[in-house]
């Protein structure tokens, strides 16, 4: 059974080729619906859309380099109460797919009857930049394709994307491969599961294989890791120690937007929204009088440290916390750095495998003996 197929497109018609493929999925009934990025009529943004009619495929744009929210949240919202008996193809970027796997492990989403379609990802622009480029022209998708073809990373990509080493989806049934492909001529369709093979078969595409994809992936990953480590070094330099950390969090206004944008922070009632923090005035005064003053609203650093403890091991590095911060607190830099340390300690990669247990819900009898004795 074929697991790889090359879908050829006529010169410069990659977008049409990809959109055509998704149209076929719906027309042939290989999926009943698609959750897929769709261009808004204004052109200023591209958002996930649930599509049931092949008619509506015309203006999808899964290549658009923008990530308004992490779609793992959408899939969670759609499947948490009950999954559908119909097949839904969900088109996700690698960071969205990884977050979804984490949410499944946290029992916040179900993969039942989903077809996970992963897209190779070169990175995304901020929503603001995307809108700006769309207005100025050429289209951000074209701009992104030109950069992808030249093999150079666009310095205007979000920082999270510039240092992301997960450009290729993990755990997708079907992957749309772009890296290492001649994008003027076509793209790769790779089936990693039985479900993916079923779709390849249903599409009736010819088996094929490509040369040089792995090398191109390795090259991109190496480049990203190098940049990631530079960002880590810079972050340590700028945030290490209480004297540096306090100024870093000084602009925080406790809006908790970073938490709300985070695909991993799922708690229905966050500890920081709980009655623990609903205090009578005298309690505030009590806290203030201990040191003579109390920063209001209270518990800024406490919030971030707690969030690091609660979700750091599962941080997929999508960077949407950063996009959500109104005051440019470098939350992404800090969370990505701390997350990577935590993940190293527990030898855990968020989104790598459904079978791997969440590090904080399991243990080994013989480990970490240096922590307590």
Partner 1 sequence: MDSEFEPSIVGFFCNWCTSTAADLAGTTRLEYPPNIRPIRVMCSGMVDPVYILRALLEGADAVILGGCEPGDCHYVSGNYKARRRMTALKTVLDTLGLENDRVWVRWIGASEAPKFARTMNEITAEIKKKGPSPLKECWST
Nearer to partner 1, 149 or 287 (CB): 287
Judged by CB under 8 A, the residue of 139, 193, 223, 306 near partner 1 is 306
Residue 40 in contact with partner 1, rule: CB under 8 A:
no
- 291 lies in the binding site for partner 1 (CB under 8 A): yes
Please state, in angstroms and rounded to a whole number, the distance separating the CA atoms of residues 159 and 332.
9
Our finding on whether 279 is near partner 1 (CB under 8 A) is: no
- Out of 79, 300, 314, 322, the only residue in the binding site for partner 1 (CB under 8 A) is 300
Residues in 320-349 that interact with partner 1 by CB under 8 A: 334, 337-338, 341-342, 345-346
Tell whether residue 284 is a contact of partner 1 (CB under 8 A). no
Q: Are 94 and 169 in contact (CB under 8 A)?
A: yes
Q: Which is nearer to partner 1, 55 or 367 (CB)?
A: 367
Segment contacting partner 1 by CB under 8 A, of 75-83, 136-144, 175-183, 239-247: 239-247
Strand partners, 33: 88
371 touches partner 1 by CB under 8 A: yes
Nearer to partner 1, 150 or 276 (CB): 276
Q: What's the rounded Cα separation, in Å, for the pair 335 and 341? A: 10
Q: Out of 299, 349, 352, 356, name the contact with partner 1 by CB under 8 A.
A: 299
Distance CA(157)–CA(159), nearest Å, equals 6
Q: Closest distance between partner 1 and the C-beta of residue 280, in Å? A: 17
Residue choice 40, 246, 255, 285 for contact with partner 1 (CB under 8 A): 246
How many other CB atoms are found less than 10 A from the CB of residue 355?
6
268 near partner 1, rule: CB under 8 A: no
Cα separation, 236 vs 231, whole angstroms: 9
In the DSSP assignment, the letter for residue 69 is: S
**According to the binding rule CB under 8 A, does residue 271 interact with partner 1?**
yes
Residue 11 vs 282, nearer CB to partner 1: 282
Among 140, 312, 330, 350, binds partner 1 (CB under 8 A): 312
Give the number of other Cβ atoms within 10 Å of residue 322's Cβ.
22
What is the CA angle 85-59-135, rounded to 5?
135
Using CB under 8 A as the binding rule, whether residue 270 contacts partner 1 is answered as no
DSSP per-residue letters across 193-256 = SHHHHHHHHHHTPPB---SSHHHHHHHHHHHHHHHHHHHHHHHHHHH-SHHHHHHHHTT-----
Please state, as a whole number, how many other Cβ atoms lie within 10 Å of the Cβ of residue 40: 13
Q: Is 256 in the site for partner 1 (CB under 8 A)?
A: no
Residue 89's nearest CA partner among 46, 151, 25, 27 is 25
**For partner 1, which is the closer residue by CB, 203 or 294?**
294
255 near partner 1 (CB under 8 A): no
Query: Is 82 a residue that touches partner 1 (CB under 8 A)?
Result: no
Does 290 sit near partner 1 (CB under 8 A)? yes
Task: Give the three-class secondary structure for 116.
Answer: strand
Among 83, 294, 352, 356, binds partner 1 (CB under 8 A): 294
Beta strands in 18-110 (DSSP E): 33-39, 46-51, 88-92
- Please answer whether residues 176 and 188 qualify as being in contact, where contact means their C-beta atoms are separated by less than 8 angstroms: yes
Least separation in angstroms between residue 240's CB and partner 1 is: 4
Task: Give the list of residues 6+ apart from residue 363 with CB closer than 8 angstroms, or none.
Answer: none
Number of residues that bind partner 1 (CB under 8 A): 49
Q: Does residue number 365 form part of the binding site for partner 1 (CB under 8 A)?
A: yes
Between 45 and 254, name the residue whose CB sits nearer to partner 1.
254
Give the CA angle between residues 369, 103, 164 to the nearest 5°: 80
**Which residues here bind partner 1, judged by CB under 8 A?**
236, 239-242, 244-246, 249-250, 271, 287-288, 290-295, 299-302, 305-306, 308-310, 312-313, 334, 337-338, 341-342, 345-346, 359-365, 367-368, 371-373
């Amino acid at each position: 059974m074929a697991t790889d197929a090359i879908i050829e497109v006529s010169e410069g018609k990659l977008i049409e080729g990809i959109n055509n493929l998704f149209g076929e999925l719906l027309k042939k009934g290989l999926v009943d619906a698609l959750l897929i990025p769709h261009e808004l009529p204004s052109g200023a943004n591209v958002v996930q859309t649930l599509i049931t009619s092949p008619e509506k495929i015309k203006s999808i744009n899964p290549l658009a380099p923008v990530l308004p929210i992490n779609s793992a949240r959408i899939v969670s919202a759609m499947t948490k109460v009950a999954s559908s008996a119909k097949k839904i193809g969900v088109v996700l970027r690698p960071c969205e797919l990884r977050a979804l796997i984490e949410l499944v492990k946290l029992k916040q989403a179900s993969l039942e009857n989903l077809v996970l379609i992963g897209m190779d990802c070169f990175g995304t622009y901020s929503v603001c930049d995307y809108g700006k480029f769309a207005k100025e022209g050429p289209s951000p998708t074209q701009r992104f394709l030109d950069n992808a073809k030249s093999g150079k990373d666009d310095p205007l990509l979000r920082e999270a994307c510039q240092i992301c080493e997960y450009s290729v989806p993990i755990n997708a049934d079907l992957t749309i491969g772009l890296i290492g492909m001649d994008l003027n001529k076509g793209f790769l369709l790779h089936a990693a599961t039985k479900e993916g093979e079923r779709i390849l078969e249903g599409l009736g595409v010819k088996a094929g294989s490509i040369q040089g994809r792995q090398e191109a992936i390795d090259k991109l990953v190496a480049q990203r890791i190098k940049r990631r480590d530079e960002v880590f070094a810079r972050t340590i330099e700028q945030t290490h120690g209480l004297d540096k950390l306090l100024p870093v969090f000084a602009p925080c206004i406790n809006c908790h937007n970073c938490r709300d944008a985070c695909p991993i922070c799922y708690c229905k009632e966050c500890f920081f929204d709980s009655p623990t923090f609903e205090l009578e005035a005298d309690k505030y005064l009590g806290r203030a009088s201990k040191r003579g003053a109390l920063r209001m609203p209270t518990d800024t650093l406490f919030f971030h440290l707690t969030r690091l403890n609660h979700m750091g091991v599962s941080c997929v590095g999508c960077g949407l916390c950063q996009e959500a911060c109104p005051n440019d607190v470098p939350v992404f830099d800090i969370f990505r750095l701390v997350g990577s340390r935590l993940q190293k300690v527990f030898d855990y990669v968020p989104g790598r495998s459904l079978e791997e247990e969440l590090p904080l819900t399991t243990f080994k009898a013989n480990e970490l003996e240096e922590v307590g004795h």
